[in-house]
Amino acid sequence: MFLQQLNPSLKALTIMVFIIFLATIFEPITPLLFLIWTVLITFLFGKVSWKKYLLYFSPFFIFALGMLWTSIAFADPPINPDEAINILSWSLPTENVLTALALALRVLNVAALSLLFVFTTNIVHFILSMMQQLKLPPRIAYAVLAGYRFLPMIRDELKIIHDAHLIRGVNQAKTPKEKMQNYKRYAIPLLASAIRKAERTAIAMESKGFTGDKNRSFYRQFTIGKLDFIFPLIMLIGFATAFFVSKQLGF
Amino acid sequence: MKPFVDVQNLTIRYETRQENALSSVSFQLKFGESLLLLGPSGSGKSTLTSCLNGLFPRELDGEMHGKIFVDGRENRDLLPGERSRKVGVVFQDPETQFCMLTVEDEVAFGLENLGIPNEEMELKIDAALTLVNMLSFKKASISSLSGGQKQKLALACILALEPALLIIDEPTANLDAIATKEFIETIKALRDKVTFSLIVIEHKLDGWTDITERCVLLNRQGEIFYDGSIRQALREQRQQLTREGIWIPRVTQFVLEQHPLLSNPPLTIEEFRENPLPIKEERIADHVSISSKPLVQARHLSWSAGNKEIVKDVSLTFHKGEFVAIVGANGSGKTSLSRILAGIRQPTNGSLLVKGKSLSKWKEAQLRQEIGYVFQNPEHQFITNTVYDEVAFGLKWKDTETIEIEKIVNDILESFGLLELKNEHPFSLSQGQKRRLSVATMIVDDQSFLLLDEPTFGQDSHTNTELMGLLKQRHQTGATIVMITHDMDIVADYATRVIVIGDGAVLADCSPHELWKMPIDKLMYWKLELPISVQLKKIYEGAASYVSTTT
C-alpha cells in the first residue's frame, strides 16, 4: 500500500518527468524493460486488482498494436537487404521495425505510468495536495471538486429527461438526423438545470465563507517527507538500469 | 437593546422585471429571537435571503434601495469571511449545497475558509455533527445520505461556523413528511443548546409554530402585510393568508372547515388533544363507477439495478375508474415500480398487460396515447419552445384539424391562466405556471391511464389545490389515476384504493378506510402517518369515550 500513501503531487510530477524521459528514447529495449519495471512496481506496492488493471490497460494495448501495424505496413521496402528483418515472408528494414516497436512501447509505457497514478491516487486528495504543494488557486481547485460531484447527477438527469420525452411520444427517432434533434432537445433542460445547480452550489459555498482566497487552513494536510522521495528513486533506478542494459546490447 | 438584524425600507427590483421583488420591507430581530417569514412562491422570500447573506447588492442585476444592519454594521460593508461568522444559511435544495465528497470534509470546508487552525478542526467538526445527531455519519460519503440527512449536514456545516443569525430557507420543501418532522425537531432541540437568532423562511406553517410565535407575512407584491403573532394572524388575516396561498397548519385548516367560528383554533395536534372538538369525516363522494374489466395488469414484476432487487414480484391489477395512491417510505421502490407500469422501464422478470394485450405487442406511439406519466419536475417534460406548442404537441399526434387544434389549445390555456404567456418559452415561467402547463399538456394528451410521481411536492397551497382539482376532473371524465404520494391527506381526500410498498414488495392493497383501521404500530413500521382528519377524529373519539367512562 506504499504507493497510496505517497504525496499525490510528487507522484504526479515524478510520472510526468519519466514520460518526458521516455520521449527522448527511440530504441525498443529501454521502454520494454521500463514497462516491465513499472507494472511490477504497480502490483508490488499498489495492491491493484489485476482484473481492473487489464480492463483499463487493454484499449491502450490495442491502440499500441494498431500503431505498430500501421508503421510496419506502410514502411518502405528495404534498400539494403543486410539491414532487413524477415517476418512471415515479409522483408522489412530493421530501422523501421525498431522505431515502430519503440513507439508502440512508448504508448504502453505512458499508459502503465498513468494507470499507476490513477489506481493508487484519490482524486480529491490529489486536488487538495495540488493546492498545498503546487499552489493551485483554491478558486479552481474547489470548482473542480464541485464539478466532480455533479457528474453523476447530470447522468441521472439525462436519463430522466430521456424517459420524460419518451412518455410524451417524441422518441421515435430512427435516422441519425432525428437522433441529433432529440439530443438538441435534451440540451435545454439539461443546461438549464445544470446552470441553476451550479449557481446554487456557488451561493452555498460563498455563504460558508469561501472567497477563493489563498489564506486558508486545511483539514487534510499533505506534506512531502523523506519517504515520498523513495518512489522517484525507485523509478530512476529502473530507468537507469533499463537504459544501461539497452546500451550494453548495442542499441 | 439594539436589534441584531435591522432591515430598513428594503426595495429590490430586478432588471428584467417591471414590478419590485421586494417593496419597502422593514423589520427587526433581536439577538436570540426567532421569526417565521411566510409568503407564497414569487413573494421575494429568496431575494430577501440573498440580501441578508450579502449576495445582493454585489451580484444583483437590478436596483436595491434601503439598508440592512447586522449586529450594528451595515451588511454590505462586511467582508464575506466576516459575514459567514454572523449569518449562516441553510438552503432549500439538499443536492446542491455541497462541494466535497464526504461528510467530514464538507463540515471542514467552512472552517478551512475561516482559517481555523488544523488542530482545532476535528473538535469543531465533531461538535457540529453531534448537534444534529449525525456524528455516526462522519466518514460517510455525501451521496449515500438521504435528503433529510443532507439537510441536517447542511445545518451542521453552518453551525460549525457558529453564526449569530441562522437563516433556513424552505429547508423542508424537498423532504417527505417524516424527514420534515425530524428536521424541525432537530432545530427545536438546537434552540435549547445554542443561542442564535433564527429566521425560518417558509410557505408552509406546519410544525414550525412551536418554535416561535412571531411571524412576518409577505404578499405576492413583496410587501409585508403582517408582523406579529401567528394566532392573531390566523384570527385576523385568515382570508388574506388563503388568498396569498400560504399553507396554514393543516390541523387548523381542518378544524376551521368544520368550526368556522372558532376564535382560537388549535395550531398543532397536541393543542387539539388538549381541547378536542367533534370531527365529522366528510369525504366528497366520487360518483365514478369502477369497471370490472382490468385496464392494466402486472404479473410477477421484478426489477433489479446492479445486484440489488428494487422491485420484488409485484402483481397488481388496475381497473378503469380507480384513483389509486401508492405510498411507502423513501427508497422503497415506488418510483421504479411506477416507471415499469408506465412502460418506460423493462422489468427484469414478469409481464405487463395493457387492455389485455402484452406490452411488447403495443406500438410505442399508440401506447403513449393510453398511458401518461407526470414527472416530479415539470421542466423535464417540456419539449417545445413555446407554451402554445407545448400544449399543441399532443394534438398533432392525433389527426386533428389545424383550426380545431388552435381552438382547443386556446381554450385550455385560457382555463389555466396561461393564455397571455402563450409565446413564452416554457422554462421562463414561474414554478407554479410550469406545473400548470405540465398538467395542461397531460389533459390535452388525454390518456386513459395516468401515473404521477409526487406531483404535489414543494408546491404552494394554490398550485396544489388547483392540481388536485384538475386531477379529480380527469378522474371523473373517465381516466384511471395512479399517484405516488407522501401526503396522506391527499390519499384520504381523493384515493379509492391505496397500495403500500415496502422494500420493493406490496405490503397492503386496500381502501384508504381499511388502511386507517390497521394497527398503529404497523403503520409506524411502514413509515406512514394517518391523515389529519383521521388523527383528529381518533383523538376526539378517544377523549369522548374517556369522558363517558369516567362519568
Residue type, A40: L
pLDDT value at position B281? 67
For residues B350 and B508, the answer to whether their CB atoms sit within 8 Å is no
Give the three cell numbers for residue A178: 432525428
Q: Please, which pLDDT band fits residue A244 given cuts at 50, 70 and 90?
A: very high
Query: Cβ distance B441 to A168 under 8 Å?
Result: yes
Where do the H-state alpha helices sit in B359-487? Answer: 364-370, 387-397, 402-415, 431-445, 461-476
A50-73 and A29-46 helices, crossing angle to 10° = 170
Instruction: Write the residue in B84, B382, B394 that is nearest to A209 by C-beta.
Output: B84
**Sequence-distant (≥ 6) Cβ neighbours of residue A95 within 8 angstroms:** A83
Each domain of chain A, given as residue ranges in start order, spans 2-128+223-248, 138-207
Chain A interface test: which of B112, B370, B438 (most A C-beta within 10 Å): B112
Cα dihedral B133, B85, B80, B27, rounded to 10, equals 100
| Single-letter code of the amino acid located at B463 | T
Residue A142 contacts B, CB cutoff 8 Å = yes
In this structure, are residues A192 and B379 in contact, taking their beta carbons and an 8 Å threshold? yes
Contact B99 A209 (CB under 8 A): no
- Tell which residue, B386, B445, B437, B488, has the closest CA to residue B178: B488
Q: Which of A204, B188, A208, B148 is nearest to B200 (CA)?
A: B188
Dist CA B459 CA B440 (whole Å): 17
Least CB–CB distance from B379: residue in A193, A201, A205:
A193
Beta bridge partners, B371, equal B449
pLDDT of residue B550: 61
Q: How far apart are the first and last CA of chain A?
A: 36
* CA B457 vs CA A64, B301, B453, B454, B490: distances in Å: 54, 27, 9, 6, 12
Cβ contact, residue pair B81, A209, below 8 Å = yes
Q: Which of B113, B380, B397 sits opposite A209 (nearest CB)?
A: B113
Q: pLDDT (tens digit, 9 = 90+) per residue, B426-484?
A: 888 877 788 888 878 877 877 889 999 888 776 777 778 878 888 888 888 888 999 99
Q: What is the DSSP secondary-structure string of A109-141?
A: HHHHHHHHHHHH--HHHHHHHHHHHS---HHHH
With CA atoms as reference, the chain B residue closest to A221 would be B118
Asked whether the predicted pLDDT for residue B285 surpasses 60, the reply is no
pLDDT band at residue B283 using 50, 70 and 90 as cut-offs: low
Question: Any idea which residue has 421575494 for its cell?
Answer: B44
Report the residue from B110, B344, B365 with minimal CB separation from A163: B344
Give the B window 71-130 contacts with A, CB below 8 Å: 79-81, 83-85, 87-89, 91, 93, 95-101, 104-105, 108-118, 121, 125
- Strand ranges of the sheet holding B214-218, from the earlier edge strand across to the other edge: B87-90, B165-169, B197-202, B34-38, B214-218, B224-229
> Do B112 and A216 lie within an 8 Å CB cutoff?
yes
A217 inside 8 A of chain B by CB: yes
In the prediction, which pLDDT does A93 show? 81
Angle among Cα B221, B227, B230 to the nearest 5 degrees reads 110
Phi, psi of B186 (to 5 degrees): -60, -45
As given in the structure block, the three cell numbers for residue A197 are 445547480
H-assigned helices in B458-519: 461-476, 488-494, 512-516
Mean pLDDT of chain B: 88
The confidence score (pLDDT) of residue B240 equals 86
Q: How many alpha carbons lie under 13 Å from residue A157 in its C-beta half-sphere?
A: 20
Residues B426, B176: Cα–Cα separation, whole Å: 27
Give the span between the Cα atoms of A248 and A243, in whole angstroms. 9
**Chosen from B49, B61, B97, B99 to mutate, greatest number of chain A CBs within 10 A:** B99
In angstroms, rounded to a whole number, what is the distance separating the alpha carbons of residues A158 and B194?
43
Angle of helix B431-445 relative to helix B461-476, nearest 10 degrees?
0
Phi first, then psi: what are they for B414, rounded to 5°? -60, -50
Asked if B220 and B42 count as a contact pair (C-beta separation under 8 A), the reply is yes
Q: How many residues does chain B have?
A: 551
pLDDT, position B314 = 94
The confidence band for B44, taking pLDDT boundaries of 50, 70 and 90, is confident
DSSP state of B420: G
Give residues with Cβ within 8 angstroms of B369, minimum separation 6: A169, B397, B398, B445, B446, B447
B134, B153 in Cβ contact below 8 A? Answer: yes
Work out the pLDDT band at B547, boundaries 50, 70, 90.
Answer: low
Q: Helix, strand, or coil here: B242? A: helix
Q: What is the pLDDT of residue B510?
A: 93
In B, minimum Cα distance to A159 occurs at: B380
C-alpha–C-alpha distance, residues B197 and B164, integer Å: 6
Largest CA distance in chain B: 76
Segment 278-317 of chain B within 8 Å of chain A by CB: none
pLDDT digits (tens, 9 = 90+) for A72-108: 888 777 777 777 777 777 777 888 888 899 999 999 9
Residues 337-396 of B with CB under 8 A from A: 339, 342, 344-345, 364-365, 368-369, 371-373, 375, 377, 379-383, 393-394
A77 touches chain B (CB under 8 A): no
Determine the CATH number of domain B294-517.
Answer: 3.40.50.300
- Strand partners for B214: B229
pLDDT-derived band at A1 (thresholds 50, 70, 90) equals: low
Say yes or no: A205 contacts chain B, CB-CB below 8 A. Answer: yes
Residue B410 to residues B228, B388, B391, B399, B403: CA-CA distances in angstroms?
44, 8, 9, 18, 11
* Euclidean distance between CA atoms B491 and B511, whole angstroms: 10
Listed in sequence order, the DSSP H helices in B132-281 are: 147-160, 177-193, 230-236, 238-244, 250-258, 269-274
Cell of B182: 425530524
> What is the ipTM, given to two decimal places?
0.85
Give the C-alpha distances (Å, rounded to integers) separating B4 from B69, B76, B83, B374.
8, 15, 13, 46
CA distance B211 to B34: 7
Phi, psi of B377 (to 5 degrees): -95, 115
Report which DSSP code applies to B421.
Answer: G
Q: How far apart are CA B131 and CA A37, in angstroms?
A: 52
Residue B505 pairs in a beta bridge with B502
Place of cell 383501521: B517
Q: Domain locations in chain B?
A: 5-248, 294-517
Predicted local distance difference test score (pLDDT) of residue B317: 94
**Residues of chain A with C-beta less than 8 angstroms from the C-beta of B89:** 204, 207
Interface of A with B in 144-173 (CB under 8 A): 145-146, 148-149, 152-153, 160-161, 163-172
Cell of B323: 384513483
Q: Would you identify the CATH topology of the domain B5-248?
A: Rossmann fold (3.40.50)
Hey, is the C-beta of A219 within 8 angstroms of any chain B C-beta? yes
Exposure string over A52-82, b if 16+ CB within 10 A, otherwise e: ebeeebeebeeebeebbeebbeebeebeeee
Q: How far is B53 from chain A (nearest CA, A)?
A: 7
**Is the model's pLDDT at B274 over the cut of 60?**
yes
Contact flag B115-A203 (C-beta cutoff 8 Å): no
**Cell numbers given for A234:** 525507485
For chain B, say whether A208 makes contact (Cβ under 8 Å). Answer: yes
CB contact, 8 Å: A183 with chain B?
A: no
User: Quick one: chain A helix, strand, coil %, rounded to 5?
Assistant: 75, 5, 20
Q: How far is A103 from chain B (nearest CA, A)?
A: 39
Number of H helices, E strands in chain A: 9, 2
Note the pLDDT tens digit of each residue in A29-61: 999 999 999 999 999 998 889 999 999 999 999
Q: In whole angstroms, what is the distance from residue A155 CA to residue B340 CA?
A: 20
Whether B109 and A210 lie within 8 Å, measured CB to CB: yes
Q: In this complex, do B154 and A204 lie within 8 Å of one another by their Cβ atoms?
A: yes
Question: Does residue A200 sit at the B interface (CB-CB below 8 Å)?
Answer: yes
Q: pLDDT at position B441, please?
A: 85
Beta-bridge mates of residue A225 = none
**Residue B438: other Cβ atoms inside 10 A:** 22
Grid cell for residue B155: 445545518
Picking from A168, A172, A192, the nearest residue to B383 by CB comes out as: A168
Q: What is the pairing mode between strands B62-70 and B73-74?
A: antiparallel
* Chain A nearest CA to B540, separation (Å): 45
Partners of B198 in the β-ladder:
B34, B166
Residue A172 has pLDDT above 70, yes or no: no
Across the A:B interface, residue pairs with CB atoms under 8 Å apart total 150
Contacts of A215 in chain B (CB under 8 A): 115
pLDDT bucket at B548, cuts 50 / 70 / 90:
low
Q: Which amino acid, A35?
A: L
Residue B354, SS3 per DSSP: strand
Chain A residue with minimum CA distance to B142: A149
Least confident of B203-212, B217-226, B276-285, B383-392: B276-285
**B window 154-213, beta carbon within 8 A of A:** 154, 157-158, 161
Strand partners, B324: B482, B497
Percent of chain B surpassing pLDDT 70: 97
What does the pLDDT average to over B210-238? Answer: 89
Q: What is the pLDDT of residues A108-130, one digit of tens each?
A: 999 999 999 999 999 999 999 99
Using a CB-CB cut-off of 8 Å, the residues of chain A touching B97 are: 200-201, 204
Task: List the single best residue of A162, A219, A220 to mutate versus B (max B Cβ within 10 A).
Answer: A219
C-beta atoms of A207 and B111 within 8 A: no
Check residue A57 and give its pLDDT.
Answer: 95
User: What are the grid coordinates assigned to B315, written together?
Assistant: 402483481
Would you say the C-alpha torsion B473, B478, B484, B490 has a positive or negative sign? positive
Distance CA A155, CA A194 (A): 11
